[in-house]
Amino acid sequence: MPGPQATDVLITEQQIQTRVAELALQIRRDFPDGVHMVAVLKGAFIFLSDLVRQMPGHVSLDFMAVSSYAKGTTTSGEVRLLKDLDTTLEGRDVLIVEDIVDTGLTLMYLQEILRARGPRTLRTACLLSKPSRRQVDVKVEYIGFTIEDRFVVGYGLDYAEQYRNLPYIGVISG
């Protein structure tokens, strides 16, 4: 099997690690009694694993999977729930952990359905944000990096299920 195409580094491993540590500190301060993290599969899995390892104290985890009916590199706007949570959110301090907010449609949908389950607090952390692409005004309290409108891969993010294993954020070159 031929390897994937080459990538140029947009955000280095070191830059990511530094920023994730800052976010973890900020989240810990805002959730002193502990936090229940809901990670969105698959893209958020590496961000989540680095984030929780920088965070002392009470942390519990759950996972959900959605499909944005993406075709290639664009989102259609429709969101389908592929895997639901294992436990209730009632009365809990919940943080959604997502890889990237692009149009905002996926997060808007997730926030709506999770808010309906009665958490005490519901906030969102995204490693990346592309504000120029936003179609809906979705609130994201913690953002790692704001980037331009380029399709990025690595550190959990894929193109056709490839590149998730890169330790940095890159763009596919040429």
Binding span for Mg ion by CB under 5 A among 2-10, 31-39, 94-102, 133-141: 94-102
Would you say the C-alpha torsion 163, 165, 171, 172 has a positive or negative sign?
negative
**Binding of residue 105 to ligand IMP (CB under 6 A):** yes
Number of shown-chain residues binding Mg ion (CB under 5 A) = 2
Binding span for ligand IMP by CB under 6 A among 17-25, 54-62, 83-91, 104-112: 104-112
User: Checking DSSP bridges between strand 152-153 and strand 169-172, what pairing results, if any?
Assistant: antiparallel
Binding partner of residue 105 among ligand IMP, Mg ion, none, CB cut-off 5 to 8 Å per kind:
ligand IMP
**Binding of residue 156 to Mg ion (CB under 5 A):** no
* Beta-bridge partner residues of 92: none
Binding mask 42-61 for Mg ion (x = CB under 5 A): -x------------------
**Near ligand IMP by CB under 6 A: residue from 10, 46, 101, 127:** 101
- Determine phi and psi for 41, rounding to 5 degrees: -80, 150
CA–CA distance, 79 with 108 (Å, rounded to integer): 10
CA–CA distance, 4 with 64 (Å, rounded to integer): 27
Residue 135 CB, shortest distance to ligand IMP, in Å, is 7
Residues 6+ apart with CB under 8 A from 113: 81
